[in-house]
């Protein structure tokens, strides 16, 4: 495969960021073309509102939009609620400041919606509907025609009822339209010197609560505290799944020995019991994104996606 340097369009981005030395190679030609396609789409929008979370994808989208359109033509809106972890919140604020993008923190009250708190298979649809409903109103008030989200091409292969909410509210997914995968976004983020490039995915805390168990602020706080504690022990990629009295810890299989080392194991048990869990378990299958979706039948998934 032939590897080429960035085109002049990408070159201008790196020069704007004052990256010293020769212009880094983006990689394969198709990645470069996808990147240019994204920039062309953003230029056609002229002004955008971005549904921003501070994760790998939305940080990348915000960076490219700000560099392409200028900060005066970009608004990043961050929905704040108990489902947003404290560390994720702090990361979102930090990255927006580094990028130089205007950021608005928007309180979201999805917990007041029984359709959301019931935590059925369509929970994400109700969550995103609240979020996008607010953001589209803000966009209209600001005279902005285009509301964008950071969904990438790989998201189309997963069970994500939030995508249906984007369709309902006409929120666009330019990373999907440009054909950018998660790996593409990570590679491009490295070239743009974004420290989020290698960070693990960080979906909302409600995604850790087993389907059918009510989403409450207390349970979200328990998950947030438990995951922050595990990260303080040097673990990065992880989930604490909430099964009522039981916390089920997922880490990559290579980190299982770290968890089961006797001193560490005791510390984890003690801390998670202080947080409010009665039973602490370790998933021997290891970490996998969207593990709770394994409990859904194909019929349940098809039923939600067909609505």
Q: Do 160 and 105 reside in the same domain of the chain?
A: yes
% of the chain beyond a pLDDT of 90? 79
Residue 59 counted as domain residue: yes
**Count of structural domains within the chain:** 2
How many other C-beta atoms are found inside a 10 Å radius of the C-beta of residue 8? 10
Q: What is the C-alpha to C-alpha distance for residues 291 and 219, in angstroms, rounded to an integer?
A: 18
- 161 and 115 in one domain? yes
Cα separation, 30 vs 135, in Å, equals 32
Contacts of 78 (CB under 8 A, 6+ apart): 52, 53, 54, 84, 89, 92, 93, 96, 103, 104, 105, 106
Would you say residue 307 lies in a domain? no
Whichever domain contains 50, its CATH number is: 3.40.50.620
- The span from the CA of 233 to the CA of 231, in Å, is 5
- Is the pLDDT at 14 greater than 80, yes or no? no
pTM recorded for the entire structure: 0.85
Of 198, 232, 247, the residue at which a domain comes to its end is: 198
137 in the same domain as 120: yes
End position of a domain, from candidates 165, 198, 231 = 198
Whether 93 and 241 map to the same domain: the answer is: no
- pLDDT of 64 > 80? The answer is yes
Average the pLDDT over 164-174 and give the result: 95
- 43-52 pLDDT, tens digit each: 999 999 999 9
User: In terms of domains, do 187 and 277 share one?
Assistant: no
Helices then strands, counting H and E runs in the chain, come out as 13, 9
Give me the CATH number covering residue 226: 3.30.300
Task: Tell whether 273 is covered by a domain.
Answer: yes
Query: Does one domain contain both 74 and 218?
Result: no
Range of weakest confidence among 155-164, 199-208, 222-231: 155-164
pLDDT of residue 129: 95
Range of the domain at 73: 3-198
What is the C-alpha separation between 167 and 175, in angstroms, rounded?
15
Task: Quickly list DSSP for 136-186.
Answer: HHHHHHTT--EEE----GGGGGS--THHHHHHHTT-B-HHHHTT--HHHHH
Residue 33 has pLDDT above 90, yes or no: yes
């Amino acid at each position: 495969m032939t590897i080429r340097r960035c085109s002049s369009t990408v070159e201008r981005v790196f020069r704007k960021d004052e990256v010293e030395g020769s212009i880094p190679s983006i990689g394969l030609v198709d990645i470069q073309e996808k990147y240019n396609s994204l920039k062309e789409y953003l230029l056609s929008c002229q002004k955008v509102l971005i549904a921003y979370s501070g994760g790998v994808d939305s940080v990348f989208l915000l960076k490219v939009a700000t560099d392409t359109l200028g900060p005066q033509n970009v608004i990043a809106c961050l929905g704040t609620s108990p489902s947003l972890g404290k560390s994720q919140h702090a990361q979102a604020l930090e990255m927006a400041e580094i990028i130089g993008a205007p950021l608005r923190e928007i309180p979201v009250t999805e917990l007041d919606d029984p359709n959301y708190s019931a935590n059925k298979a369509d929970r994400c649809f109700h969550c995103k509907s609240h979020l996008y409903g607010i953001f589209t109103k803000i966009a209209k008030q600001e005279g902005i025609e285009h509301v964008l989200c950071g969904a990438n091409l790989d998201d189309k292969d997963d069970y994500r009822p939030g995508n249906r909410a984007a369709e309902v509210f006409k929120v666009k997914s330019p990373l999907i339209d440009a054909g950018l995968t998660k790996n593409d976004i990570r590679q491009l983020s490295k070239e743009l010197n974004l420290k989020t490039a290698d960070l693990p995915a960080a979906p909302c805390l409600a995604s850790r609560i087993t389907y059918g168990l009510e989403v409450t602020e207390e349970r979200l706080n328990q998950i947030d505290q438990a995951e922050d504690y595990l990260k303080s022990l040097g673990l990065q990629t992880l989930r604490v799944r909430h099964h009522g009295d039981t916390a089920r810890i997922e880490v990559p299989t290579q980190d299982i020995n770290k968890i089961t080392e006797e001193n560490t194991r005791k510390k984890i048990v003690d801390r998670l019991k202080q947080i409010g869990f009665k039973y602490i378990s370790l998933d021997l299958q290891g970490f996998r994104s969207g593990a709770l979706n394994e409990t859904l039948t194909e019929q349940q998934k098809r039923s939600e996606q067909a609505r």
